[in-house]
Amino acid sequence: MFFTFDELQTAPLIVDAVYEGGWESRNLADEPLSKIFQGVGSGLGNSGGFRLSGKSSGSGYCVLYTTGNEPDWPDELDLRTGIFTYYGDNRSAGRAISSKKGNKILESSFASLHASESPRQNIVPFLIFEKFPTERSQRSVRFRGLAVPGFEGYTSNEDLVAIWRSKEGQRFQNYRASFSVLDIGEVPRCWLANPRESDLMPSAWSDWVKTGRAKRLQAVPTLEIRKPSEQTPSSPEGRSLIQEIYNHFRDRPTDFESFAAYIFQLMYPDVLIDEVTRATVDGGRDAVGRLPIGPPSDPLYLDFSLEAKCYAPASADGHGNSVTVGDTKRLISRLKHRQFGVLVTTSFVAQQAYKEIREDGHPVIIVSGADIAAVLKKADFGDKNSLQKLLLSY
C-alpha cells in the first residue's frame, strides 16, 4: 500500500504501508510524519526519534522513528518474533542517561509496565515508523506497527537495559529497549485522537491493558530459498563489516573457522563448541559442537557440524563468489545420524545449492554475509573499530 504526500492527512495507518515524503520544499516541510498526524490529537513534531503527542509521557501517543542504518544504534524489527529493539536518544557524552526526552519516555513507560499495581493504562501507544526512501522523496517512511513496551518472559532487568558507549574518549550510557509489536493490521486514527476511549481501542491493545499479555504480530517467511541479494548486507555499513572480516582472513582462511564458530555462538549463546578441527583431519567439518534445548536441569543436546567458507563478499546486488553445490554436498555427506549442519560464509549460497538443501529437507542452517553483519550489530560490534578489536583475537 502506498500513499502520496497529498494523501497523508487522511491516509489509514496500515502495517507496512509506505507514506511518501515531500520533495518540493527541500526542508522540514517535506517531512511526512507531522503531516500524517496533523489533527490527530495534538499532533507531532517534525524531527527526532521520539515524537510524543500530548503534554506528558502519560498521555497521547508516541511515534518511534528509525533510520535503520546507524551501526552504533542498530534498531531492529524481528518479523519472526514480533520484537522491536529500539535505542534511546542519549547518544553523546556529557549528559546523564535520563536527561533526554526520549529516555524519560522509556523510563516512565517501563516503570509503569513493571509496577506492582500494573498501571498499563498509563502507557501511551507506540507507533513504529522507519525511513523508506522512494523515487521522489528521501523522506518517505514505512509504518511497522503498533507496539507496547516489554516482551512476555523478560524481567525488568532485561527489557530496558542501560548500555555503555564511548565517543571521542568519553563514556556515556544509553538505553536499549524491547517492544512487542501487536497483532493488528490497521490502527484506527479516531482512537489516536483519544487513546483513553475504551470504545475506540483495538482489541489487541485493550487485551494487553487488561491482561499484560501481548498478542504479537509474528510473520513466518514464506520464502525459504533466499536470493543472493537477500543473503548480502543491504546497507553500505553492513557490507563494510563483511569486507573487513574477509580482508582479515583472506590469506589464512582456516583461522576463519574459529571466528565462524564464534558467530554461531553469538546467534545462539547456549551453543557449546567442542572442537575446531584441524584442517588436515577435519573430515569435512571445520567445527563440531552441541546445542542444548529443554530445561537447564535436564537438557537435550543436539549435535552439529559446522563448515566455514571465507569467500569474497558479494556486491550489493548479490553478485560475487558463491558457495556451490559441491561445497554444500561436502557438509551434508559428513552429517551423522541426528546431527544438523551449520554453514557460515562471508558470501552467499548459490541458488541451486540453496534449493537442493531446502527441497531435499537437509537439516542445514545457512549463515550468510547478511546474517553475520546482523548478529555483529546486535552484539555491539557494528562499527569498524569495535570489529577490528574483535578480529585481533583471531
User: Which segments in the chain show pLDDT lower than 70?
Assistant: 42, 55-59, 118, 223, 278-285
Q: Residue 289 forms beta bridges with which residues?
A: 273, 304
Same domain, 185 and 269: no
312 and 232, same structural domain? Answer: yes
**Burial, 187: exposed, middle or buried (Cβ in 10 Å; 0-12, 13-18, 19+)?**
buried
Interior angle at CA 231, CA 228 and CA 232, nearest 5: 90
Answer yes or no: do 292 and 354 share one domain: yes
Q: 135 and 253: one domain?
A: no
Alpha-carbon gap, residue 262 to 260, rounded angstroms: 5
Residue matched to cell numbers 546474517: 371
Q: Give the list of residues 6+ apart from residue 269 with CB closer than 8 angstroms, or none.
A: none
For residue 234, what pLDDT is reported?
Answer: 86
Provide the strand spans (E) within 10-125.
13-14, 18-19, 50-53, 61-66, 76-78, 83-87
Look at residues 211, 237, 269 and tell me which one is the last residue of a structural domain: 211
Q: Are residues 180 and 95 in the same domain?
A: yes
User: Is residue 60 domain-shared with residue 141, that is, in the same domain?
Assistant: yes
Does residue 222 fall inside a structural domain? no
**Which of 182, 211, 240 represents a domain boundary (last residue)?**
211
Q: Residue 297, Cα to own-chain centre: how many angstroms? A: 31
Is 221 a domain residue?
no
Give pLDDT, residue 100. Answer: 92
pLDDT at 68: 83
Would residue 172 count as lying in a domain?
A: yes
Same domain, 232 and 207: no
pLDDT at 57: 55
Q: Are 200 and 234 in the same domain?
A: no
**223 inside domain:** no
Claim to verify: residue 196 and residue 244 sit in the same structural domain: no
Q: pLDDT by residue (tens digit) across 355-391? A: 999 989 999 999 999 999 999 988 889 888 899 999 9
Instruction: Specify whether the CB–CB gap between 187 and 202 falls below 8 A.
Output: yes
Amino acid letter, 357 = I
CATH number of the domain bearing residue 239: 3.40.1350.10
105 & 249 share domain = no
Asked whether residue 136 is assigned to any structural domain, the reply reads yes
Asked whether residue 200 is domain-assigned, the answer is: yes
Domain final residue pick, 176, 211, 246: 211
Kindly state whether residues 358 and 298 are assigned to the same domain.
yes
- Distance of alpha carbon 304 from alpha carbon 325, whole angstroms: 20
The boundaries of the domain holding residue 256 are 228-391
**For residue 56, what pLDDT is reported?**
57
Q: Which pLDDT score, from 0 to 100, does residue 340 have? A: 96
Helices (H) and strands (E) in the chain, counts: 10, 19
3-state SS of the chain: helix, strand, coil percent to 5?
A: 30, 25, 45
Q: Which residues contact 258 (CB under 8 A, 6 or more apart)?
A: 276, 287, 394
276 and 188 assigned to the same domain: no
> Distance between CA atoms of 339 and 301, rounded to whole angstroms?
10
In a domain, 216, yes or no: no
Output the domain CATH number for residue 7. Answer: 2.30.280.20
**Whole-number Å distance between alpha carbons of 187 and 15:** 8
What is the model's pLDDT at position 118? 64
Residue 89: the pLDDT is 93
Number of domains in the chain: 2
323 found inside a domain: yes
